Amino acid sequence: MPAVMIGYARTSTTDQKAGLEAQLRDLQAAGCTKVFQEQLSSVANERPQLERALEFVREGDVLVVTKLDRLARSVADLVAITGTLKGKGVELRILTMNLDTSTPNGKLMLNVLGSIAEFERELMLERQREGIAKAKAEGKYKGRAPTARSKARRVLALKAEGKTTAEIQAALNISRASVFRILKDRSMPEEAA
């Protein structure tokens, strides 16, 4: 029985309609009988259609993507996805790279690519740390501005008005933890006095 080709297409935004259409066209041309698609950033913690595709594929199937960056956002993500596929007996095919993990060359290439991507990420982080250290030494680096702490007065004012934590969180667009932290910090000195 021939392998069933399952496609996955993703663009980062809904504005990238042409990019999604191109992926769908390429996946169909590659022989995909079912395609899962979504339009959201890969940095999003959840990619529901990718999750559905990974649940849907069965032993002997091939998951097909047009490009590696459409599938994984990091080496760790790639390792997790390929581990899931391997555990289910599913192969991976990346069209632009002519990579197919059902072949020994494809498996080797995927491992090499993962290693190179990890190496590049480590170099980038090292350069970033060096740049931050240099900027700090020159007095130019201030770090990220604390967004929630800058809203402390508003949090306290809303709490004084009798607003709930959820209402404060929604009104100021800050996390629940930030609201609690601000309220806790404010109550500490009063308790000590």
Residue reference for tokens 């007996």: 89
Per-residue confidence (pLDDT) for residue 149, from 0 to 100: 74
The pLDDT assigned to 78 comes to 84
Spell out, as residue ranges, where the chain has pLDDT lower than 50.
190-193
* pTM for the predicted model, two decimal places: 0.59
pLDDT of the residue at 192: 40
Where helices occur in the chain by DSSP H, the ranges are 17-29, 48-56, 68-71, 75-88, 104-137, 152-160, 165-172, 176-192
β-pair partners for 38:
10
**pLDDT for the residue 190:** 44
Tell me if domain 5-116 and domain 149-187 are identical in fold. no
Fold of 5-116: Rossmann fold (3.40.50)
Contact 74, 119 (CB under 8 A): no
Per-residue pLDDT tens digits for 62-103:
999 999 888 887 777 888 898 899 999 999 999 998 999 989
- CA separation for the pair 40, 47 (Å, rounded): 8
Domain ranges (residues) in the chain: 5-116, 149-187
d(CA 117, CA 72): 11
Residues 6+ apart with CB under 8 A from 163: 171
The CATH number assigned to the domain with range 149-187 reads 1.10.10
The whole-number pLDDT of residue 41 equals 67
CA–CA distance, 25 with 133 (Å, rounded to integer): 47
Residue found under tokens 């800050």: 174
- Which residues are annotated as catalytic? 12
**How confident is the model at residue 63, as a pLDDT?**
97
